[in-house]
Every structure is written in structure tokens, then in C-alpha cells.
């Protein structure tokens, strides 16, 4: 049974997961999609800044830093759970 989708910020650091939904507002969603963050993309949660914001992720060979509130709106399933 596949795991339920969860916010990217709820997975453990170092975990790889697949994007299942992007709930970011349209302007922000378009920006993320232009950078290659699409439904089905494999992402890795790299780290949280010392105070928890921003969040660093890795996908398609590069690192991207997002505000925590944006990362919370990117829903994923853990790669091994599919």
C-alpha cells in the first residue's frame, strides 16, 4: 500500500521523495515549474537552516532553497514507499 502524500517539510533530512502535488499559489508555482520542479520529480530534502527557515532541497542535479511556507505546500511521497 503506497504511503499517503505529505508535506515536503515532514520528511526526514536526506530522504528522497517524489512530488505528487504543488499547492503553492499560481505565481510561485509557475516559478518552481520553470525551474523543473514538476509533479513526478524526485527531490531530496537536504537541510533546514538553523532556525528552520529556509529549507534546502536537491533535484535534477542542483540545490534550491525555499521558504519553509513554500516547502510545506509541496506534497510528496517517500520514494521507497511507492
Render the burial of 10-19: b for 16+ CB within 10 Å, e for the rest: ebeeeeebbb
Long-range CB pairs of 28-35 (<8 Å, 24+ gap) are: 28/70, 32/70, 32/74, 35/64
Q: Is 72 exposed, middle or buried, given 0-12, 13-18 or 19+ CB atoms closer than 10 A?
A: middle
Give the chain's domains with CATH numbers. 6-81 (2.30.30.90)
Any residues with CB less than 8 A from the CB of 63 and at least 6 apart, and which? 46, 56, 57
> The whole model's pTM is what?
0.86
For 24-51, write each residue's pLDDT tens digit: 999 889 999 999 999 999 999 999 998 8
Say what the pLDDT of residue 80 is. 61
Amino acid at each position: 500500500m503506497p504511503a499517503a502524500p505529505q508535506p515536503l517539510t515532514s520528511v526526514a533530512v536526506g530522504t528522497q521523495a517524489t512530488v505528487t502535488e504543488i499547492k503553492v499559489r499560481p505565481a510561485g508555482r509557475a516559478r518552481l515549474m520553470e525551474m523543473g520542479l514538476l509533479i513526478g520529480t524526485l527531490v531530496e530534502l537536504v537541510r533546514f537552516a538553523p532556525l528552520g527557515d529556509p529549507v534546502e532541497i536537491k533535484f535534477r542535479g542542483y540545490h534550491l532553497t525555499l521558504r519553509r511556507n513554500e516547502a510545506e505546500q509541496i506534497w510528496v511521497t517517500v520514494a521507497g514507499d511507492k
